[in-house]
Structure 1
Amino acid sequence: MKIGYARTSTTEQLAGLEAQVRDLWAAGCEKVFQEQVSGASTDRPQLAAALEHMRQGDVLMVMKPDRLARSTADLLGYVKAIQAKGCRLIVQSMGGQTLDTSNPTSKLMLTMLGAVAEFERDLMKERQAEGIAKAKAEGKYKGRKPTARSQAHEVSKLHEQGMTPTEIAKKLGMGRTSVYRCLSSLTN
């Protein structure tokens, strides 16, 4: 069975998620798991569900290696876990080529691509930190505005209506910790 996994980092990347899902179905996947969560997050329930769903002989298919893992070590860890189940990983869109971890050459290419992607991310973070430092030195950097505190009144109103912090967080699109922080600041 071919099982697809699609991921984008944010909910704003809906078109990217839809394109991955479309391409996975077109590649013959019989089931596709999808989620919108940062690759750096250790909590990716749909990826866990896809891996749990796999049986010996199955194939996990992703469109790009960075949809599966953020570092080379993580990528190789997933490959090892998939192979331990008697399954394969296929990365579909690599410049018209597919990489199938059942052969050593593809596994080598996947490792190199993962290392290059990790290197690019590290360089991007470095450039971002330099830009922020420069902006701070020039007095131009204010940081991001706190989003949860701007909704404190709405949090309080929903809490008074009997909603739980989990329900409030889901309704307002914020973290549960932020809800507790808002409620705490209102009582102090």
Structure 2
Amino acid sequence: MLVGYARTSTLDQTAGLEGQERDLRAAGCERLFVEQVSSVDVKERAKLAEALAYVREGDTLVVTKLDRLARSVAHLLDILDTLTERGAALRVLDLNLDTGTPTGRLLLTVLGGIAQFEREIMLERQREGIAKAKAAGKYKGRKPTARAKADEVLKLHREGVGGTEIARRVGIGRASVYRILNEADGVA
């Protein structure tokens, strides 16, 4: 059985997700596992975990692109180990790659390494660009949303509301609440 897995990083990438689903169906996938979650949140990828638990001996997990499945070589190899233990293979459509063969497994490992290298280079360039923009005074970073709510946090705290409840009411994280309180007057 061909089992498809599709993923986009954000909720606003519906066209990309629909395209993946279309391609997986066209490839003959009988069952699809679809989610919208960042690849950075490996622990939050419930549908990937379900897909890996679902595959049986002789099945093939199909993805449209390698970056939809794993962001690092280590994670990719973990997924491959899981599939191998279950007697299943992996197929990557855009690479025309199938790990059902020794050559396919070798190529996937090499390509996974290249993909990780490219990602690390991109992140390095991004950090350099941000540093240059900061030095030129053009990059201010993310607007401090929690600090903008400091007056409201302090007011609720004076009323005796606890940190968790303040965070819920104001719409910020608990850590931000305690940071504001500590900066205000050392009250925790």
Please give the range of the TM-score, normalised by the shorter of the 2 chains.
Answer: 0.7 to 0.9
Residue 145 of structure 1: how far off its partner (Å) = 2.1
Equivalence for 1:137: 135
Q: Which amino acid aligns with 2:110?
A: M
Alignment root-mean-square deviation, CA: 2.6
Q: CA offsets, 1:137-162, max 9 Å, x none?
A: 11111101245777998xxxxxxxxx
Residue 116 of structure 1, CA deviation = 1.2
- For 1:44-83, list aligned pairs within 5 A: 44-83=45-84
Q: What is the CA–CA distance in structure 2 between the aligned matches of 1:148 and 1:42, rounded to whole Å?
A: 27
* Structure-1 residue corresponding to 2:157: none
| Residues 149 and 116 of structure 1: CA distance in aligned 2, closer, same or farther (over 3 Å) | same
1:135 aligned counterpart, secondary structure: helix
1:6 maps to 6
Which residue of 1 is the match for residue 119 of structure 2?
121
Structure possessing the higher radius of gyration over alpha carbons: 2
Distance in 2 separating the partners of 1:106 and 1:148: 49
Alignment match, 2:86: 85
- 1:156 match: none
Q: Would the alpha carbon gap of residues 42 and 140 (structure 1) be closer, same or farther in structure 2, given more than 3 Å must change?
A: same
105, 108, 119: which one pairs with 2:106? 108
Cα-to-partner distance string for 1:23-69 (whole Å, 9 max, x where unaligned): 00111111111111111212200000111111222111111111110
Alpha-carbon distance, 1:19 to partner? 0.5
**C-alpha distance in structure 2 between counterparts of 1:60 and 1:141, whole Å:** 43
Q: Shift of residue 89 of structure 1?
A: 0.8
Q: Any gaps of 5 or more consecutive residues in structure 2? A: 153-164, 182-186
- Distance between the aligned counterparts of 1:85 and 1:49, measured in 2? 14
Aligned twin of 2:184? none
Q: Match of 1:20, SS?
A: helix
Q: Secondary structure at the match of 1:28?
A: coil
Normalised by the length of structure 1, the TM-score is: 0.77
Q: How many residues get paired?
A: 165
Give distance in 1, aligned partners of 2:55 and 2:176.
42
In structure 2, distance between residues paired with 1:107 and 1:149? 50
The Cα shift of 1:183 comes to 7.1
- Cα deviation, 1:105-136, whole Å, max 9, x if unaligned, reads 11111112111111111111111111111111
Q: Distance in 2 between matches of 1:33 and 1:147?
A: 35
Q: Return the alpha-carbon distance in structure 1 between the equivalents of residues 41 and 9 of structure 2.
A: 9
If the length of structure 2 is used for normalisation, what is the TM-score?
A: 0.77
